[in-house]
Structure 1
Amino acid sequence: MRLPRVRRNVCVTPCLTKVCETVCPVNSRMGNVCVMPDKVETAASPQGDGRATRWEDHKAERRSRILEAAMDAINEDGPDVGVQQIANRADVPRSVVYRIFTDRGDLDEQLRGRIIERLMTDLAPTLTPEGTVGEAIARAVETYLRWIVEYPRLHQFLGTGSPSRRTTGSRVVTGTKTAIALQLSGLLATVLDSVAGNSDLAESLAFGLVGLVDASVNRWLSNPQSALGSDELAEFLEVSIWQVLHGNLARIGVTIDPSTPVSELQ
């Protein structure tokens, strides 16, 4: 059975304010579709006109300050930082953290959303490819690896949480991977429709490529004895992505070259 193809752009900005299939306010000017999970529920706020608004603004400012402090703490001290360490960095009492977040799980999940925002600030532009096919692949891979090398502890926290609070299957992380794969699927579908008249391979190619990069990078980070440096890993990923694309396109009679301009394929 052929799955329906996503024809709109996909928002990969984890705004955490909208449910799947709503227009993200951050990206509305581009007509993108937000596929991020809805915001994790937090403690109820006081009710009442102006007071409620002021409370929500105050709570939002404190939430942002706590999340930024938590990112800094993880980046410097590792993913097993405690709530008291985070509170100290944010210059708030520990009790305030639990007035803003329902529990440690809520804090960690919203923290993953904030980390992904930082990652996607750098990565999102590369998901709209420019230049040649080879240049577009290299730009995306090198941008991703550069961020990971700079923030390895934040990336570790995204994938597995901390040693004392192991986490797999985070809704925010899974939603982001899916959003990236769907955006890539839409791009590949456009290319395949143009050059082959058939886009059946688009979704499988997109999710396969995202899985290839994700698994390779996660293993590389978890193995400090790896013989590959970041440059060698980047080269491996660029060659692998190209070979997957080239091999599958050749199988359906389409020939492209790394020097082919992306604009000629759309």
Structure 2
Amino acid sequence: MNNPHHLVTNTEDGRSSRWEAHRTRRRIALIKSARRAIHELGYGASMDEIATVAGTSKSVFYRYFGDKAGLQEAMGEVVIGQMQEKLVTAARTARTAREGLHAMVSAYLQMAETSPNVYTFVTRTDGLDALTNPTDAEASGTLSHFFASIREMMEAPMRTYLQNQPEAYLHTTIAYWPTAAIGQVRAAGELWLGTPEGPGKPGRENMAEHITRWLFAGISIDIPDTASGPHETTRQKDHQ
């Protein structure tokens, strides 16, 4: 004979599962709608404006995300997750460390250029920055995890690239260079995004090549990408 309590529990579990599935679908739909609204209106759009473009009410967004910061975090998980997938794919297809860096920079610029408003919305938290304030609780969520994963992606190819360098130099470079590189890519990329179109603004691939060269060879166009000059100076200092 069936246990009536068991039947009740199964029924409740089924309802709960259907409700969670409904909430998940609704949440995804709201994020997509909000993303379109931010793309159209700008990263400073209010919750009222976002709800209007999304064809719903502000209270619905508050019910699912709590507040604008909650919506920002939820959208960031989606957008930054997509950026990370693009960067991973770009890095995997590269044959050399430099080629991998160029591919990652190009993918980063492409994703940001696709919708500067959405990019700005998910990478800003009330003036805080997860890169320059990695220990701040408000700035160390999705974005800081994204930067941490990028640093890890950079570490392996850079170890291979610098494998013949002194251990002290290798250790210091691996400890600091990835974070410095991400900062330069962001700063240069965001300045590039904000520059009006014109003859003085390079295309995306040219900009990616410029940034890659700056990271690998410095600012002089006379130094080849495989130059050993800076490393020679470092080795001399390490052995003194």
Using structure 1 for the length normalisation, give the TM-score.
Answer: 0.64
Instruction: State the distance in 2 between where 1:104 and 1:178 align.
Output: 25
The residue type paired with residue 201 of structure 2 is L
| Cα pair 2:47 2:58 within 8 Å, conserved | yes
- The residue number in structure 2 matching 1:181 is 151
Instruction: State the distance in 1 between where 2:53 and 2:197 align.
Output: 33
* Deviation string, structure 1 residues 128-179 (Cα, Å, up to 9, x no partner): 3522444333322222222222221122223336xxxx44233222221122
Instruction: State the distance in 1 between where 2:23 and 2:233 align.
Output: 56
The aligned length equals: 201
| Cα pair 1:71 1:115 within 8 Å, conserved | no
The residue type paired with residue 81 of structure 1 is A
Instruction: State the distance in 2 between where 1:179 and 1:139 align.
Output: 16
* Deviation string, structure 1 residues 210-243 (Cα, Å, up to 9, x no partner): 1211121123334448943234432320211221
| Cα pair 2:27 2:64 within 8 Å, conserved | yes
Match of 1:69 among 25, 28, 33: 33
Instruction: State the distance in 2 between where 1:174 and 1:187 align.
Output: 21
The residue type paired with residue 58 of structure 2 is R
The 3 A distance-change label for structure 1 pair 51 and 235 is same
RCO comparison, higher one (Cα < 8 Å, 6+): 1
Moved more, 53-62 or 219-228: 219-228
Q: Secondary structure at the match of 1:74?
A: helix
- The residue number in structure 1 matching 2:179 is 207
- The residue number in structure 1 matching 2:135 is none
Instruction: State the distance in 2 between where 1:81 and 1:70 align.
Output: 10
- The residue number in structure 2 matching 1:242 is 216
Q: Alignment identity in percent?
A: 22
CA RMSD after TM alignment: 2.8
- The residue number in structure 1 matching 2:106 is 142
Q: Which runs of 5+ in 1 are unaligned?
A: 1-47, 254-266
Using structure 2 for the length normalisation, give the TM-score.
Answer: 0.70
Instruction: State the distance in 2 between where 1:181 and 1:67 align.
Output: 28
- The residue number in structure 2 matching 1:219 is 191
Q: Identify the structure with the greater helix proportion.
A: 2
- The residue number in structure 1 matching 2:76 is 112
